[in-house]
Amino acid sequence: MSSHYPDARPRLRATTILGVKRGNEVALAGDGQVTLGDVVLKHGARKIRTLYDGQVLAGFAGAVADALTLFGKFETQLKAWDGNLRRAAVELTKEWRTDRYLRRLEAQLIVADPESLLVLSGEGDVIEPDDGIVAIGSGAPYATAAAKALIAHTELDARAIVEASMAIAANLCIYTNEHFSVETVRVESEEVALDGDAEADERELPLGEAVMVASVANVDSAEDDDEDDDDEDEAAKENDAQNEVDDDPEDGSARW
């Protein structure tokens, strides 16, 4: 008498993660659903993490234990490379691909900072999307399609786009729910001081704006020079008048 046993036990699965980069902001969103086979075990899981003092975002899809293992490995690489996201991502995927234990992990990661948005896999892939949109997990096609449409036809920022796209994916994918967690990182714009340092201005601004700043700085400098010349002329006139008084014989006293 024979009995049938499944080849593997059902595993915890977590989906969907969407990343969008627009302008100086990157947003990462994940739903809260965790399933074990066909059973929903959790509705409010957090699949997005902030790393490196909030400067880096990471989200996972796949087997939960595997993803958490990869989180730890990625954070170690990030610290080793002083927050260099691209280098840490490449080193993680190299280790993930070649290590016999890590190669068995069934998960994917999306990692992001204000400059880069990357998807990592155990196949050795480090992929940066051309349009600043990437998604992983069961609802990835739906979330990606919605985000592409919103980027093309609206002026919404990155956070608003991922929230709207995840809502659409939740309506279509049975493995995605509407309990979202969203994290964002952005590059803060800095005001450039007009201190007459044209080289510093050119490093901070586009060419046209740099030329404008340099011109304004030169005009200010010329005005300052004119004011200095006027002051010198007035001082010279006062000195001449004083000398005439000193030389006046009716004054009765000599001045030194």
Domain that holds residue 220: 198-246
pLDDT of residue 231: 59
Show which of 141, 160, 186 is a domain's final residue.
Answer: 186
> Long-range contacts: 192-200, Cβ < 8 Å, 24+?
194/220, 196/220, 196/221
Residue 169's CB is within 10 A of a number of other CB atoms, namely: 31
Q: Are residues 113 and 214 in the same domain?
A: no
Q: Are residues 147 and 112 in the same domain?
A: yes
Number of independent structural domains in the chain = 2
Residue 204 backbone dihedrals phi, psi, to 5 degrees = -95, -30
Tokens for 51? 């790393």
pLDDT of residue 209: 45
Strands 117-120 and 25-30: unpaired
pLDDT of residue 240: 59
Q: Which range, of 2-6, 8-12, 26-30, averages the lowest pLDDT? A: 2-6
In a domain, 225, yes or no: yes
**111 contacts: CB under 8 Å, gap ≥ 6:** 56, 57, 58, 74, 85, 88, 89, 118, 120
In a domain, 148, yes or no: yes
In a domain, 57, yes or no: yes
Judge whether 144 counts as a catalytic residue: no
Distance CA 59, CA 29 (A): 8
pLDDT of residue 235: 59
Q: Of all residues in the chain, what percent carry a pLDDT higher than 90? A: 48
In a domain, 160, yes or no: yes
Per the CB < 8 A criterion, the answer to whether 159 and 184 are in contact is yes
Average pLDDT, the chain: 78
Q: Are residues 69 and 161 in the same domain?
A: yes
Banded pLDDT at 228 (limits 50, 70, 90): low
The model's pLDDT over 98-148, given as tens digits with 9 standing for 90+, comes to 888 888 888 889 999 999 999 998 878 899 999 999 999 999 999 999 999
Q: Are residues 236 and 148 in the same domain?
A: no
- pTM across the whole model: 0.69
Distance CA 134, CA 61 (A): 13
Among residues 15, 35, 93, 144, the one annotated as catalytic is 15
In a domain, 230, yes or no: yes
Q: Strand, helix or coil at 198?
A: helix
Q: Are residues 78 and 52 in the same domain?
A: yes
In a domain, 1, yes or no: no
pLDDT of residue 81: 94
Torsion of CA 138, 13, 121, 165, to 10 degrees: 40
> Long-range contacts: 160-165, Cβ < 8 Å, 24+?
161/20, 161/22, 161/27, 162/18, 162/19, 162/20, 162/27, 162/28, 162/29, 163/29, 165/18, 165/20, 165/29
Residue 215 has pLDDT above 50, yes or no: no
Angle, helices 140-153 vs 158-172, to 10°: value is 140
Q: What CATH number should be reported for the domain holding residue 132?
A: 3.60.20.10
Q: Are residues 148 and 231 in the same domain?
A: no
**117 contacts: CB under 8 Å, gap ≥ 6:** 19, 20, 21, 26, 110, 128, 129, 132, 134
Rg, the chain, Cα only: 32
Banded pLDDT at 191 (limits 50, 70, 90): very low
Residue 252 has pLDDT above 50, yes or no: no
Q: Are residues 64 and 92 in the same domain?
A: yes
In a domain, 254, yes or no: no
pLDDT of residue 241: 53
Q: Which range, of 5-14, 126-135, 163-172, 173-182, averages the lowest pLDDT? A: 5-14
Show which of 137, 152, 186 is a domain's final residue.
Answer: 186
CA angle 175, 179, 181 (to 5 degrees): 110
Q: Nearest-CA neighbor of 156 among 22, 17, 15?
A: 22
In a domain, 54, yes or no: yes
Q: Are residues 139 and 179 in the same domain?
A: yes
Q: How far is CA 113 from CA 28, 52, 54, 55, 83, in A?
A: 10, 10, 9, 6, 9
Q: Are residues 23 and 133 in the same domain?
A: yes
Q: Are residues 160 and 63 in the same domain?
A: yes
Q: Nearest-CA neighbor of 28 among 163, 221, 155, 195?
A: 163
Q: Are residues 153 and 114 in the same domain?
A: yes
Q: Are residues 51 and 163 in the same domain?
A: yes
